[in-house]
Every structure is written in C-alpha cells, then in structure tokens.
A = this chain, B = another copy of it.
Amino acid sequence: MLAMPITMGKEVLAVMMAVNKVNEPEFTKQDEEVFSKYLSFVSFVLRQHHMAYLYNIESRKVQVLLWSANKVFEELTDIERQFHKALYTIKAYLNCERYSIGLLDMTKEKEFYDEWPIKLGEVQPYKGPKTPDGREIIFYKIIDYILHGKEEIKVIQTPPADHWSLVSGLPTYVAEHGFICNMMNAPADEYFTFQKGPVDETGWIIQNVLSLPIVNKKEDIVGVVTFYNRKDAKPFDEYDEQITEILTQFLGWSLLNTDTYEKMNKLENRRDIAYEMLMYQTKATTGEIESILKYKEKLNTNIIEDCEEKQLIQILVLTRWMYTVRKGYRSVTYHNWRHGFNVGQTMFTLLMTGKLKKYYTDLEAFAMIAAAFCHDIDHRGTNNLYQMKSASPLAKLHGSSILERHHLEFSKTLLHDESLNIFQNLNKRQYETVIHLFEVAIIATDLALYFKKRTMFQKIIDTCEKMETEEEVIKYISIDPTKKEVIMAMMMTGCDLSAITKPWEIQSQVALMVANEFWEQGDLERTILQQQPIPMMDREKGDELPKLQVGFIDFVCTFVYKEFSRFHKEITPMWDGLQNNRVEWKSRADEYDEKMKVIEEEKKKQEANTAPKAEEDLGSTGDDKKSKTCQIL
C-alpha cells in the first residue's frame, strides 16, 4: 500500500492511497515519485474545493450577522420579538431541518409570600438544576422553526417537561453549564435520551443536534437555541458550530436592546405616574375654587339661563387654571406668585393703558397675559447658571434657557388637563398660535437673550417714529408676525423687570427681595458647590447693592423703558419711575463710596502706625458690614 496525506496548512484534508501493485509484490521507488507528482495535482483540486467551502462558511457568517443586525436594530422591542425577528430572518443560512429557541425565566428571587412556606418548613426548597447565576431553570416559552416540508412556526407557552424538545434534558444541561453541545448521533446518545420516533404528525425524526446557550453581556444565560438535522444529513461540523456560535453571541449581545426596552418602558411609566400625582397635588381643589367663587350657590339657583351656564363654566375653568398656576409657584423669596401675578398684571397694563393692544388680536392679547402669569412658574429661587453648576436634572434636560424652558413646559402641561385648559374652545390653528406665543413669550424672559432682540426692537421703533399716521404704524406691525413677536418679547422683559419702575418705597423693598434670593443662592454656592459667589450674590458684599442697581438700570433697564416710552408716550410713567429710582440708588451708592473712601484713608493712616492695632479696627469694620442690609432702606 502506498499512502500520502493531502494537507492545507497544518490541516489534513484527505489521504490518497494506492493499494496492491499489479503484478509486483510492492510499489517501487518510481511508483512513489509518480504517485507524489499526481498527488500534488489532486491536492491542488482538493484545496481549491476546500477553500471554496470555507469562503461559503464565511460569507454565510456575514449574512447571518448582517440580517440579524438589520432586524435587531429595527426598533426597540422585547426579548421574544427580537429573537423571533432575528431568527426568522436568517433561516435561509442555517442549513438545518428545524431549530428552536427556549426562553428562560429570568426571575432570581421569589416573593416573600412564596418563600414563607419554605422557611416555615412546609414546602421543600427547589433542588433541581440552576443556571450558573442561581436561577431555577424554567423554560417559559419555546419557539419552534420548522423548515422541512411545509414551513411553519410553533409557539409553545410554558411547555411541559416532557415536550419533545425538552425531554432529553439537553436544553436544561446547556442552560445549566453554558456549554455548546454537538450531538453527532442523537438517538444513540446514552447521556441524553432523545425522543426516538417521530416527534409530531409530520413524522420527522431527530438525528443530529447542535445546542447553544444565549448569554447576555452580564454573563447570564437567557435562553437556549437548538438546531436539528443538517439538511445534507451529515452531522453538524465545526464550521456549523462557528456560524451558530457567532449568531448566538450576537443575539446575546443584542439583549442590551431588550433590557433597554424594558428599562425605558418602566421609566416612561414612572414619569407618567409622577406627572399624574403632581397634577393631582397641584391642581386647585373644589374647596379652593369655592373659596373664591361661590359658584355652587349660583348652580343651585335652578333658573340659570343657557348662556349664563356656559359663562359660569368658562369662569370656573379660568379660576381653576389661575389658582393652579398660583399653586405652581413656589414660596421662594422673590420668584413667587407675587412676582408671577405682577408680571401678568403689568402685561395687562402695557396692553391697555400702554395702548400696545392695538397691534394684537384679542386672542393674542389673552395668550400674552396668560403667558405672563405663567412665565416663572415652579421657579426654584436659583438662576440658570446655578442649575448648570449643580448639574440639576433641569440642566441635563435643557441645553439653554434652562428655567424658562421649564416654566414653559409646566405651563403647557397644565393645559393638557382639560379642566384647566383655558384654550379648550379654540380650533387647532388658534391653539397652535397660542402655544407658539407662549413659547416665544416665556423663553424671551431669559435675560441672556435680551441683547439679541435689542437692536431689532429699536429698528422697528425707529421706522415707526418716521411714520406719519397711526394707521400706517398699526399696519406696518400687524401684518408682520415677526415684528409682533419682537415687540411682545420686549414687552415680556418690560413686565418682568417692571418692579424697577415702581415708586421708591416699593422698588426698594422688591430690590431687597431680589437681593435676598441672590444671597441665598450665594449661600448655596458656598456651602453646596463650595464656590465663591459673584459679588451680586455674595451676602458679604451686600453693601454694594445700590451700585449694582445703578449698573443694572444703566445697562439693561434704561433701554427698555426709554424705547417703550418713545414708542408709546402712554408708557412714559414707567420711564419716569425708573429715572427717579436711579437717583435714589445713585445717592446711596455715592454715600457708600464716600464712606469707603473715609475708611480707606483711616486705614492708611493707621497703617502708618502699628500693624496689630490696624487689624483690630478692620474687625470692627467687618461687624458694620454684617448689619448693612437695613441701611439700604
């Protein structure tokens, strides 16, 4: 016998043999040479064939991966749907008669009331097989893909232990140990007893079985996939193992998606629950509304006319909305309902007394007043920068105009409740207009955007000033939604800052409230963020308030009220009030400067004397500082 191996790399692909030399007792040296020469040609053909086989394997892998990826990324879905979509899509590349997926129960812990009977010794604890992470092995569902004969998919809910696919114990074994099991001749296996005869009415019989665990990135076994009977009747080989392993690995990894799906659903539900509870707690109660409107008495009068009843309901909704907005404001030092109410009231005044109403429809004016009432709802007494620095959920949600976007969102949320929706009778187009105005008006109260709109506002007024008739001005503005928005946005600023135009007794008090809220934020920055607050928020620098107020008037407020007064002379009283307050603040700022100059000179004089003595004096200056907030008034 003359035998030689055909190899590819280190792998032996085949052995070629020549048996029984004709007419000679053995093969000669020459035979060997000829044999070897022919061998190299034969082996060449064989290698070519093998390479083509390997190429086919690899391209099936690519297809399996691509198609399952395509399905897995289609949308977020639950584990069953995801596995099903992926496994169904790749059926053409699997080259087997059947395959099935068994899904494992992922519950690790029992409820306390199910543990009681075990703990009390009334029920035996579970002693059956468990997954490596300690779960009882329970297949709650089997999905069976039948590719031989008529294609079919069977779903078996909570399959019995003697179901043909489970009875051998192989899926349980795979789930217990996490091994890949390739049973070349399943019926002959001694360890696992597979069903010998046909498993169902199709007459189909198990021959070869390849079973793999699906493992997620946390290394938990979540299911078992089993492939039955290669289509060419051969046993599954190492390349089949490779393809199916790649597949199950990918499916296992992709469970990140199904976990996310579940987590997301839970989050959505939790958010919905919290919002519903929030609305329940915030919404004005019947009792609260009754404390304002004596509507029950009215309703009890049996003789109310149709139009009266409709009106009454409108008043009820408006009252409930207003009371709820009020409850939505927190009792912080400055940005509380008092401020919210003032801004709404000032918007009304600007429109009516200030005669700005003429550019807007009734609906627009209503929306503007409503937005003004809502504009600082649920303010927390700290500004946008503080939200960012403290990394509050609000700052994580909104990239800019953080609080303003929150005021807007909450205002809109209130309107989602029909019993609070003051715009419920509007048609879709009107409702969208109102919501758009809410958006522009409330976001516009972010002072960071103030400088963006300044020149645009000024240009409009410049143009109007040159016009000869009022009609011309009204037309110029009314026909252009953008101009109306710019003016409205500046009106919001005018309302928001209007305390600065109030009589001195009021302005001085309000300024202190604003300052106190700033100082409280400064305290938080020092204690919680461990940062040094800016002078405006630094309680220790409270003496500088008059100077800060003068600066604020000069750089922010003056423009607003001066331009509005130029635009509509009816608004001049606000401009006058502002100028008067500037005089007051300026005199206090000068007074403080004077005082500081004296102290500075005193200090210099003393520094010329001994050093220790100077320190003592500085201490007493510090004491003065602490009680300065009262001096402002």
Contact = CB atoms under 8 A, between A and B. Distances in A.
Interface of A: 44-45, 47-48, 51-52, 54-55, 58-59, 61-62, 65-66, 69-70, 73-76, 111-113, 116-117, 119-120, 122, 217, 246, 249-250, 253-254, 256-257, 260, 263-278, 280-282, 285, 327, 330-331, 378, 393-394, 396-397, 406, 410, 439-440, 443-444, 449, 452-453, 456, 459, 482-483, 485-486, 489
A122 B70 CA distance: 47
Contacts of A249: 66
A58 B54 CA distance: 10
A265 B47 CA distance: 55
22 contacts: A44-B45, A47-B48, A58-B59, A65-B65, A69-B254, A76-B260, A112-B439, A113-B444, A116-B456, A120-B459, A256-B257, A266-B397, A269-B393, A269-B397, A270-B397, A272-B393, A274-B274, A274-B275, A274-B278, A280-B330, A281-B327, A285-B331
Contacts of A59: 58
Chain copies in the assembled complex: 2
A298 to B, nearest CB: 23
A486 B116 contact: yes
B65 A55 contact: no
Contact of A264 (B58, B66, B260): B260
A482 B120 contact: yes
Contacts of A217: 73-74
Contact of A456 (B52, B120, B269, B285): B120
Contacts of A281: 278, 281-282, 327
Contacts of A482: 116, 119-120
Contacts of A453: 113, 116
B116 A253 contact: no
Contact of A278 (B65, B266, B277): B277
Nearest to A122: B456
A332 to B, nearest CB: 11
Contacts of A449: 113
Contact of A112 (B62, B69, B75, B485): B485
Given A58-B59, A270-B271, A274-B278, 17 more contacts: A48-B48, A58-B58, A61-B62, A65-B65, A66-B246, A66-B249, A76-B256, A111-B443, A112-B443, A113-B453, A116-B453, A116-B485, A257-B260, A266-B397, A267-B271, A270-B393, A285-B331
Contacts of A285: 331
Contact of A58 (B62, B268, B280): B62
A262 to B, nearest CB: 11
A267 B269 contact: no
A181 B11 CA distance: 41
A44 B55 contact: no
Contacts of A122: 456, 459
Nearest to A439: B112
A444 B111 CA distance: 11
A113 B73 contact: no
Contact of A393 (B263, B273, B378): B273
Nearest to A278: B278
B256 A75 contact: yes
Contacts of A456: 116-117, 120, 122
A459 B58 CA distance: 66
Nearest to A276: B393
Q: Give the 3 A-B residue pairs with the shortest CB-CB distance, closest first.
A: A58-B58, A274-B274, A73-B253
A406 B265 CA distance: 16
